[in-house]
Amino acid sequence: MKKTILSILLISLTQANSLSGVIYSSQEGSSISEAIIFATYSIDNDTVFVTGVSGPDGNYWIPCMGSVYIEITAEGYDTLVTNFDVSGDSLHNFYINERENQLSVNSNVEVPNQLILHHNYPNPFNPVTTLRYELPEDALVNITIYDMMGRVMSNLVSSHQNAGYKSIQWNATNNAGKPVSAGLYLYTIQAGKFRQTKKMVLLK
């Protein structure tokens, strides 16, 4: 039976395979602190999820091995998605692009020009995290949180909203108001024809 293993940064001090380096801004060449690294890889048909956060000097370290799917996010930067082959203790620096100004010009109010679902922050979190999104026009918005089995945990948002920059917090409870268990969760936004899903990790 296929299992899912959840691993948060220092999952095993005995694991010899790892990836480390520094995360930089592509434009300025400066290091980026508090960037969130989400990595996925497989061991003997088991899926392992690892998350980490870059330090004050942009340095990071995550235990992983083999073919690794990597997703790096940082406030004000585009999300970097890549695959990397890790064997032993590998060193690699990542460069991510600063996010371009996505505001339409308006003399009175700034309104986004496209619908964007940002990564939650903090991630991993315990017990509260913030989800941010941008609406370019008035729309019926639904934000739903699922567990990894596809079961609905929380119908966080279901309302008609005006255009603008939005955020909402999730306190790791289900629709019945009861705390959910630690693990990996998915959150999906749907507004009109737009639909997007991202991952987040709850610690206990």
Bigger pLDDT: 104 or 108? 108
Q: Are residues 85 and 155 in the same domain?
A: no
Can you read off the two tokens belonging to residue 102? 């996505």
Number of domains in the chain: 2
Q: In this predicted structure, what is the pLDDT of residue 181?
A: 95
Which domain CATH number covers 121? 2.60.40.1930
Q: Are residues 188 and 158 in the same domain?
A: yes
Domain contains 104: no
Q: Are residues 75 and 123 in the same domain?
A: no
pLDDT range class, residue 192, cuts 50, 70, 90: confident
175 burial level (CB within 10 Å; 0-12, 13-18, 19+): exposed
Bigger pLDDT: 171 or 36? 171
With 50 as the cut, is the pLDDT of residue 10 above it? Answer: no
Can you read off the two tokens belonging to residue 9? 């940064």
Which domain CATH number covers 66? 2.60.40.10
Q: Domain residues for 52?
A: 4-96
Q: In this predicted structure, what is the pLDDT of residue 158?
A: 93
Domain contains 76: yes
Question: What count of Cα atoms within 13 Å lies in the side-chain half-sphere of residue 179?
Answer: 9
Can you read off the two tokens belonging to residue 18? 């790892």
Can you read off the two tokens belonging to residue 10? 């220092």
Q: Are residues 78 and 23 in the same domain?
A: yes
Mean pLDDT of 149-154: 91
With 60 as the cut, is the pLDDT of residue 109 above it? Answer: no
CA distance to 45, 46, 188, 197, per residue, from 118 (Å): 30, 28, 11, 10
Q: Are residues 83 and 125 in the same domain?
A: no
Percent of the chain with pLDDT over 90: 33
153-169 residue pLDDT tens: 999 999 999 888 888 89
Q: Locate tokens 């990996």: which residue?
A: 184
Task: Give the Cα separation of 53 and 71 in Å (integer).
Answer: 12
Q: Are residues 26 and 91 in the same domain?
A: yes
With 50 as the cut, is the pLDDT of residue 107 above it? Answer: no
Q: Are residues 137 and 184 in the same domain?
A: yes
pLDDT range class, residue 30, cuts 50, 70, 90: very high
CA distance to 45, 65, 75, 83, 204, per residue, from 68 (Å): 14, 7, 23, 6, 25
Domain contains 139: yes
**Length of the chain as a residue count:** 204
Domain contains 103: no
Q: In this predicted structure, what is the pLDDT of residue 42?
A: 80
With 60 as the cut, is the pLDDT of residue 13 above it? Answer: no
Q: What is the mean pLDDT of the chain?
A: 82
Q: Are residues 127 and 195 in the same domain?
A: yes
Task: Give the Cα separation of 51 and 146 in Å (integer).
Answer: 19
In the three-class reduction of DSSP (H, G, I as helix; E, B as strand; rest coil), residue 172 is classed as: coil
Q: Locate tokens 């060193």: which residue?
A: 91
Q: Which stretch, 36-40, 77-81, 153-157, has highest mean pLDDT?
A: 153-157
What is the edge-to-edge ordering of all strands in the sheet holding 152-161? Answer: 152-161, 139-147, 183-191, 194-202
pLDDT range class, residue 16, cuts 50, 70, 90: low
Q: Which residues contact 183 (CB under 8 A, 6 or more apart)?
A: 6, 147, 148, 201, 202
Domain contains 101: no
Q: Are residues 68 and 129 in the same domain?
A: no
